Amino acid sequence: MILHGFVRVTIKVRNSCVDFKKGMVFSMYNLELKGKTIFVTGAAGFIGSNICKALLKDEDIKLIVGIDNMNDYYDVNLKEYRLKELVSYNNFKFVKGSIADKALIDNIFNEYKPDIVVNLAAQAGVRYSITNPDAYIESNMLGFYNILEACRHSYDNGAKGVEHLVYASSSSVYGTNKKIPYSTQDKVDNPVSLYAATKKSNELFAHAYSKLYNIPSTGLRFFTVYGPAGRPDMAYFGFTNKLLKGETIQIFNYGNCKRDFTYIDDIVTGVVNVMKKTPDPNENGVRYKVYNIGNNQPENLLDFVDILQQELVNAEVLPKDYDFEAHKELVPMQPGDVEITYADVDELVNDFGFKPDTSLREGLRRFAKWYKEFYS
């Protein structure tokens, strides 16, 4: 456990921190991934596939069971592309199906007895929750409830059961909170989209299950995650597709928006760190914790578009003489959107000595390079 409240010099080694000032070595983690069976939901998704890849490459785990329903909310080819690499590992098993299917989830738990569960399957996106709310209730509410129930019953008859449940929440739970940066100590009772309401509900459900059945659970509020093979429904990817087709991109709130863009590799490091540490009991004795994972550096939307343009030209996705100004339209705010997202990551730094730090330019450069290769 990291000690709080004093300045110190530390270096991280594999499973511990060395504190030079105090000459102490103390363990940061309390859970080994080595030899474990890990159940990852949303395994063909952007974040899920990258987490599986990192675990398969870097951690000596026994088995990852990944589930995904491969829905067509966005191009299924991308999901298949991400899966292709994962299924080449002998210790990766893919199940195509929905977490909303209770019998299927129960069967997976009975057969594989996962030690750690990482729930990333969800209907993502704020705007789509206006047009297709059913998908959010099915995957984010019913699906997550099935995962919690399966975790609960994993301890039946004295079984060791699930050692840690890690699940995706979202920065959208902060709604239109005025206080920035957003801290996990802030009240988040005013969601402005159904998507945000489902994510906040997940945190409440997890708390109740952690309290009732002693399931160690950690929720992660991700802030605008981007990178190679990311989600085409997100601005950086959607803008690129449109610009390439010669269409006009819409910049919401007339460009007066700020986003804490977080590069995928930073998210992966954060999630894998978190998986290795179950929360200590809180003041109510509940092993429950929520962290923000964000870059802690919000970028203006217009600056973001500017950097994206430059990197698309550098990667030769778009020609040098592309008339960007002719393909931009400044439009009002969309329902469900918020003006700013800005993560306070002090707790992440305190508990793991880690903070996302990939610059937007570097991250967009890697995205543009990947885009060029993938689509040509």
Ligand X SMILES: NC(=O)c1ccc[n+]([C@@H]2O[C@H](COP(=O)([O-])OP(=O)(O)OC[C@H]3O[C@@H](n4cnc5c(N)ncnc54)[C@H](O)[C@@H]3O)[C@@H](O)[C@H]2O)c1
The set of catalytic residues is: 195
* 99 makes contact with ligand X (CB under 6 A): yes
Q: Is 124 in the site for ligand X (CB under 6 A)?
A: yes
Q: Considering only residues 18, 31, 70, 313, which one is a binding residue for ligand X as defined by CB under 6 A?
A: 70
98 binds ligand X (CB under 6 A): yes
Residue where the block lists tokens 């990291």:
2
Report how far Cα 264 is from the mean position of its chain's Cα atoms.
Answer: 8
Q: Confirm or reject binding of residue 304 to ligand X (CB under 6 A).
A: no
Phi-psi region of 346 (alpha: psi -120 to 50; beta: other; left: phi over 0): alpha
Q: Is 201 in the site for ligand X (CB under 6 A)?
A: no
- Phi/psi for 222 (5° steps) reads -80, 145
The full 3-state SS of 15-43, as one line of letters, equals: CEEEECCCCEEEECCCCCCCCCEEEEECC
Q: Is 310 exposed, middle or buried (0-12, 13-18, 19+ CB in 10 A)?
A: middle
Residue 304's nearest CA partner among 361, 228, 225 is 361
Query: Cα(104)–Cα(111) distance, rounded to whole angstroms?
Result: 10
Question: Is position 122 an interface residue for ligand X (rule: CB under 6 A)?
Answer: yes
> Between residue 332 and residue 371, which ones bind ligand X under the rule CB under 6 A?
none
Residue 143 contacts residue 99 (beta carbons within 8 Å)? yes
What's the min distance (Å) between Cβ of 171 and ligand X? Answer: 6
- For ligand X, the closer of residues 216 and 219 by Cβ is 219
Tokens coding 354: 């880690």
Show the binding pattern over residues 218-257: x = contacts ligand X (CB under 6 A), - = does not.
----x-xx-----x--------------------------
Closer Cβ to ligand X, 77 or 284, answer by number: 77
* Nearest position to ligand X, beta carbon: 45
Q: Residues 6 or more apart from 309 whose CB is under 8 A from it?
A: 243, 318, 322, 324
Instruction: Supply the DSSP symbol for 180.
Output: S
* CB closer to ligand X out of 10 and 289: 289
Q: Residue 311 CB, nearest distance to ligand X (Å)? A: 19
Q: Tell me whether residue 231 or residue 355 sits nearer to ligand X (CB atom).
A: 231
Asked if residue 141 binds ligand X (CB under 6 A), the reply is no
Asked whether the beta carbons of 162 and 147 are under 8 A apart, the reply is no
Name the minimum Å distance from CB 230 to ligand X.
7
Query: How many CB atoms sit inside 10 A of residue 78's CB?
Result: 19
Q: Is residue 170 part of the contact set for ligand X (CB under 6 A)?
A: yes
Closest to ligand X by CB, 81 or 324? 81
Number of residues that bind ligand X (CB under 6 A): 29
User: Cβ 147 to ligand X, closest distance in Å?
Assistant: 10
Residue 107 binding ligand X, by CB under 6 A = no
Q: How far apart are CA 355 and CA 301, in angstroms?
A: 22
Strands 249-251 and 288-293: unpaired
Nearest approach, Cβ of 225 to ligand X (angstroms)?
A: 4
- Of 154 and 171, nearer to ligand X (C-beta) is 171
In the complex, what is the shortest distance from the CB of residue 339 to ligand X, in angstroms, rounded to a whole number?
17
When asked if residue 68 is in the footprint of ligand X (CB under 6 A), the reply is: yes
For residue 139, the minimal CB distance to ligand X (Å) is: 4
SS3 at position 296: coil
Contacts to ligand X by CB under 6 A: 41-42, 44-48, 67-71, 79, 98-100, 120-124, 139, 143, 168, 170, 222, 224-225, 231
